[in-house]
Amino acid sequence: MEKRRVVRYHLEEFVRLEGEKEKIPATMVDLSRSGMRVIINKPIDFNKVKRISVKLPGIGGEGIPCQIRRNVKGVGGWEFGLEFSGETNAQVLLVNRWIDSLEKHTNQSEPISLQSRRAPRMRCTITDIECTNRDLVIYSAQNISTRGVLIQGSGELKSGDMLSLEMNLPVFSCPISIETRVVYLIDSGPENPFQAGLSIVRINATSQDKLQQFVSDTSHNLAILEYHKQMIKDESSERFQISGTQAITMFHKLRNEASTVNLLDEENLCIIETHIEEFEGINFKVASPETVSNPTFFSFTRDGASYFFSAKRKSWNGGYGEFQIPVRVYRGEKRAEKRKTSSDRIKLRIPSISEPVPVQILNSSRKGMQVEVYSESLPAMIPVIGGTLEIAVGEETIPGEIRHIVEHLGNTENQIVYRVGLETGIRRKTANAITYSPDNWIETWHGPSRPLRNKRLLQSERVSYKDYQGREIVGLLHVNNPKLPAIVIIIPPAFARKKESFATLALTLLTNFAAVGENIAVLRYDGTNRPGESANSNPDVRPGNEMVGYRINQSYTDLETTMNWVHNNGKVQVDKTALITFDMAALEARRLQTSLENPQADHWISVMGVASAQNALKNMLCGLDAIANHRMGIPVGTMNLCGQQIDMDRMIADIIHLGYTTTSDAREAMAQIESPITWIYGTHDKWTDPEEIRDIMSVASPGERELIEIPSTHNLRASDDGIASFQIISDAILRQLAGSSGPAVMPDNSELTELIARERESVIGEKNLDIPGFWKSYMLGDRIDGGYDNYGELAEFQEFAQLELALLKPMVGESIADMGCGTGLITQAILFDLGTSITTLAGTKLIGIDLIPELLTKANEKYNRLSKKNPKLKEVEITWKSLNLEPFPLAGIRDVLNQPGAKFIEQLRGKVQGVSCECFDKFRELDRELMSEILEGKTINASIRQIIEKSIGPKELPLLEDINLGARFIVGNLTQKDLKISLGKGTEALNAQQLQNLRSSDLALQKLDFGSWTRDGKLPLEDDSFDAIYGSLLLPYLFAPAEAVKEFTRMLKPGGRILLSTMKPDFDILSIFSSHAKSSNGNFHEKNLEKVHSMLGEAAKLLSLEEDGWFRFLSEEELRNMMVKAGLAKIQIVQGLGAPPQAIIATGKKELTSITTPKASRDFP
């Protein structure tokens, strides 16, 4: 017979021996499953005792009976060999379980308390673990607690050895480090792995926090798993079950209805939401981990009842497990008389009800439970949704809130029962709340302008750093004083936006901190696989395609990397940090602020932040619940979201996995954040729900909460609303982190313009936008059926067109121009209005002008359709003219020439297309007197060219020569050498006749493009030719809108009227499209929704191009100033397009005295 091998455990553990008359403390030094060796101070009569029991640490009830097999006098006391009697299976099982989970929780000299022995330990397995100070191979770690761990491995080891371990826990991206001591060793022979129980003797605070969170979360999931197992066991005993064909039918219904099924992963102690994907005979497939336990436990809810079953897994492939349909499915809803245990132990303490209310648990999850309560247990007043209560479980209470209440008819004597959905763990506190009305908003936060006068701060420093995968992240850094500690402000990118979008915010922060003498550093950065300069895995990084490879977890990795870089670089000294996030970036910010492994911000400011991804995406997609569709197995595919092509299925899967989905996720996170939070939200922001934001900000938490409501829409960049909100942000950070605050100030407009221009130039570089190609695609609709004409279907746009019509009042017999008429939506409104006249339309003239001939064709088609319905419209003299309305590109140089006195190069900054701020900086190094002569049109000869090249360098010389050539074109100081080779012959000056026929396209330019213009710089439309001019939504898309207004004024007859409109800076038309989407029904609704999404994406492109500097939307003040400088009078400004209005409309009148375009101050024959 083979000799039985006994595995022994070498350890030191404190136990109690219970003799016939007394309890004796003892030290256990060796243990096997049959007995133990202990050391005690032997009493006088102890050797007469033949039978005792052992009280194991942390184990309640009676001790384990033992017999004394031997006793020996030793150095440290009497050593006894004890054998477990094993009188009952339960006692034997208790010993085995205790041995399996044994660990040491103390130092070498002091015994631990029984209370500390009750710390939870996890039965899950960690395989990503290594020993860093010994030549050991660690296979796995089990029975993990905050005090110790059981490891399995190979190598030489003995009791008392010190081991340094690094272990990667699930969820956390970085390993934890622990110093441990071997307190017992299970040696199974040289050919077998050892098992060792380790006591944690040293752990840093960060690793301890991670370990504690892991143990807490995993123990909670384990409790839920055991609860569901018990439910299945209870229902089995009561035989309340579904089986046979009924079970198969139910599974097919779950598949067809795409119902959520909870998979209870016993291996990883977590609950996973999944769906039944397909059937093959009696097997079904669901998405599941490869390591899931077998059999696997499942649960689901249907028609208000909870169901449970276990299923055997047959196979696993590509993320999907194939399981056999179970023989029985158990229903957790039978209300028999025997089932009173839960009702006795679980009660609701509701503030409005004096007595606790007994309930029956139907279903539970990590965040809440569904309970059932009989109506007779409630008074006349039913608790309301959102109401707070406490859930009493024995002697313990858990805070909770009611999420839903559904009335049902019970199965006993037709009693009414209520099924109540509860979210657990929520406590409330009141946030500091401020609400600004439209009347006091801008006035309150419209401080005086304050120049920084610091050129270094106006030139942001480009910095770069890499994440853990080596991907480069590029940022823009401003540091006031790098030699002193600073409050460092980190600004992640908004969704689908670049770092340059927040230039106005950065300068506002710098200005307000400088005003109160506080040192500051501001860092903005681009996300990886997003628009901007940071790394992108997509080789085809065209505008709109930058986020094709985007994963939402990358946003967090970018933020995590940035926070670590801020604390570990030589460019800035960190005193405190503030994090400012916009829209979707709030999701990764709250994750950071609850992280135990990365530096957290000392103050978090969320601006127009989303509370939950599901509600935000639903709002952004005009009612389409993409996450709900995804959960039901309906693929969403690739969509245009904020002007970017996004793989929505992949993004939604990430959102669900990361816990960004629901308000409940947000509440849970907000309760953990210790830092102060300031949350700014807009009354008219259609991305978010104000109630949801107020909800999550009222969750009880360690940190201060400040809630600010402002009367704005979502986009905050460069508008008055944006600058006002940025002053609020500056004030909030100063109050929280510096303990100081002063009167708010605004950035200087010229400094802001310069900063924005510099940053835009660095982004655009040598890129060129195909303006005609863009407008042709945008207006005709390469991606949308109908193109821009779809706006004509929007009720708000129709009202906008009627408002413009009423403001200008075109009349019969007038000559009317529609500048930038596009596909003719405004022209159509004018014609329709004229057609209502009872008089003849003879003598009425209407001209539609646009850059793209194909758009004019569309406009003419509208006219033909209208004239068929109303033949009188054929009396109108209609002209369609293809013309580029971009003003004279040399207008800026002409303005400088017409000014008296010396000429300065700074006067041309921003007025000559193609010359960067950096070039103007170099130009300033040239002698002022010489520069004045060059700008006045003096010819640059060889000697002057040498002086210029020496002063500013050869790179900038061709640009200055082109500017000089433009000035000489205007004043008429040209020779044959100044013309292109095909035109110029000789060196003599051009005569008057040659100058009269000359065009700017004839000039021998080296770098710049001045188009094809005559020297007078006029568009080919006559002076004083129109009674009324429309320029609807045109000016923002011109390089020199102020010059265009002057040109339009020139074309007006004295006393003529003009209407000019522009989208507001930071315009937001989501509400317009949302209301349009809701107005359609049936199949048309689906098609309409797709069209709306595409239109929103196209509109987002305009904002993106505006941020890159190609366009610029105008404020009321800018539009008024342009009209005043053009000589217009009786200027009136109103707003329109939506509620709140997103467009500005200005009307004016030309004085009866004619306005003419000024001529150059000098003329060279």
Give me the pLDDT at residue 249, please.
Answer: 84
Question: 759 pLDDT exceeds 70?
Answer: yes
User: Could you tell me the pLDDT band of residue 1037, with boundaries at 50, 70 and 90?
Assistant: very high
User: Could you tell me the pLDDT band of residue 335, with boundaries at 50, 70 and 90?
Assistant: very low
User: Could you tell me the pLDDT band of residue 1053, with boundaries at 50, 70 and 90?
Assistant: very high
Residue 141 backbone dihedrals phi, psi, to 5 degrees: -130, 135
Mode of pairing for the β-strands spanning 485-491 and 357-358 = unpaired
Q: pLDDT tens digit string along 697-731? A: 999 888 999 999 999 999 999 899 999 999 999 99
> What average pLDDT does the structure give for the chain?
83
Strand order in 705-710's β-sheet?
432-435, 705-710, 677-682, 603-607, 573-582, 485-491, 520-525, 472-479, 461-466
Q: Which residues touch 1053 (CB under 8 Å, ≥6 apart)?
A: 815, 1024, 1025, 1026, 1027, 1150
Mode of pairing for the β-strands spanning 313-317 and 283-287 = unpaired
29 or 450, which is more confident? 450
Q: pLDDT tens digit string along 822-880? A: 999 999 999 999 999 888 999 999 999 999 999 999 999 999 999 999 999 999 999 99
Question: 1083 pLDDT exceeds 80?
Answer: no
User: Could you tell me the pLDDT band of residue 213, with boundaries at 50, 70 and 90?
Assistant: low
Give me the pLDDT at residue 1036, please.
Answer: 95
Q: Give the residue-averaged pLDDT of 250-266.
A: 80
Lowest mean pLDDT among 153-167, 239-253, 887-901, 1106-1120: 239-253
The CATH label, of 3.40.50.620, 2.40.10.220, 2.60.200.30, 2.30.30.110, for the domain at 9-100 is 2.40.10.220
Q: What are the extents of the domains in the chain?
A: 9-100, 116-203, 217-331, 341-424, 432-535+553-609+663-764, 796-886+1019-1066+1114-1150, 891-1002
Question: 430 pLDDT exceeds 50?
Answer: yes
CA distances to 983, 1004, 1047 from 999, rounded to whole Å, are: 12, 11, 19
1151 or 783, which is more confident? 1151
pTM higher than 0.75 for the full model? no
CA distances to 21, 24, 69, 71, 784 from 45, rounded to whole Å, are: 11, 13, 17, 13, 98
80 or 323, which is more confident? 323
Question: 267 pLDDT exceeds 60?
Answer: no
Of 162, 106, 108, 97, the C-alpha closest to 131 is: 162
Specify the CATH number of the domain 341-424: 2.40.10.220
Asked whether this chain's domains 341-424 and 796-886+1019-1066+1114-1150 adopt the same fold, the reply is no
Question: 336 pLDDT exceeds 50?
Answer: no
Coil, strand or helix: which one is 782? coil
Contact 127, 204 (CB under 8 A): no
**∠ CA(777), CA(781), CA(784), 5° rounding?**
140
Q: Reply yes or no: is the peptide bond before residue 295 cis, omega within 30 of 0.
A: yes
Q: pLDDT tens digit string along 1064-1075? A: 999 898 888 887
Radius of gyration for the alpha carbons in the chain, expressed in angstroms and rounded? 39
d(CA 233, CA 469): 48
Contact 269, 221 (CB under 8 A): yes
Q: Give the residue-averaged pLDDT of 319-332.
A: 83
Coil, strand or helix: which one is 982? coil
CATH classification (class only), 217-331: mainly beta
Which tokens hold the place of 624? Answer: 């389409």
Q: pLDDT tens digit string along 1107-1149? A: 888 889 999 999 999 999 999 999 999 999 999 999 999 999 9
Question: 7 pLDDT exceeds 50?
Answer: no
d(CA 34, CA 793): 85
Q: pLDDT tens digit string along 628-679? A: 888 777 778 888 888 888 888 889 989 988 889 989 889 989 998 999 999 9
Helix 1116-1125 × helix 1041-1051 angle, to 10°: 50
Give me the pLDDT at residue 873, please.
Answer: 94
Q: pLDDT tens digit string along 603-619? A: 999 999 999 999 999 88
Give me the pLDDT at residue 126, please.
Answer: 85
Q: Which fold has domain 432-535+553-609+663-764?
A: Rossmann fold (3.40.50)
Q: Give the residue-averaged pLDDT of 286-293.
A: 81
Q: Which fold has domain 116-203?
A: Thrombin, subunit H (2.40.10)
CA distances to 351, 527, 647, 1095, 1098 from 640, rounded to whole Å, are: 48, 19, 9, 9, 9
* Residues β-bridged to residue 520: 487
Three-state SS sequence of 214-246: HHHHHHHHHHHHHHHHHHHHHHHHHCCEEEHHH
Q: Give the residue-averaged pLDDT of 256-267.
A: 76
Contact 277, 287 (CB under 8 A): yes
Question: 14 pLDDT exceeds 50?
Answer: no
d(CA 866, CA 832): 7
Maximum average pLDDT range among 107-111, 116-120, 272-276, 1080-1084: 272-276
Question: 545 pLDDT exceeds 90?
Answer: no
H-helix or E-strand spanning residue 557:
helix 552-566
Lowest mean pLDDT among 9-13, 724-728, 746-750: 9-13
Q: Give the residue-averaged pLDDT of 192-219.
A: 77
50 or 806, which is more confident? 806
Specify the CATH number of the domain 796-886+1019-1066+1114-1150: 3.40.50.150
Three-state SS sequence of 625-660: CHHHHHHCCCCCCEEEECCEEEEHHHHHHHHHHHCC
Q: Calculate what percentage of the chain has a pLDDT beyond 90.
A: 44
Q: Give the residue-averaged pLDDT of 811-823.
A: 96
Give me the pLDDT at residue 1130, please.
Answer: 96
Question: 173 pLDDT exceeds 80?
Answer: no
Three-state SS sequence of 870-904: CHHHHHCEEEEEECCCCCCCCHHHHHHHHCCCCCC
Q: Give the residue-averaged pLDDT of 583-595.
A: 94
Question: 1157 pLDDT exceeds 70?
Answer: no
d(CA 163, CA 181): 6
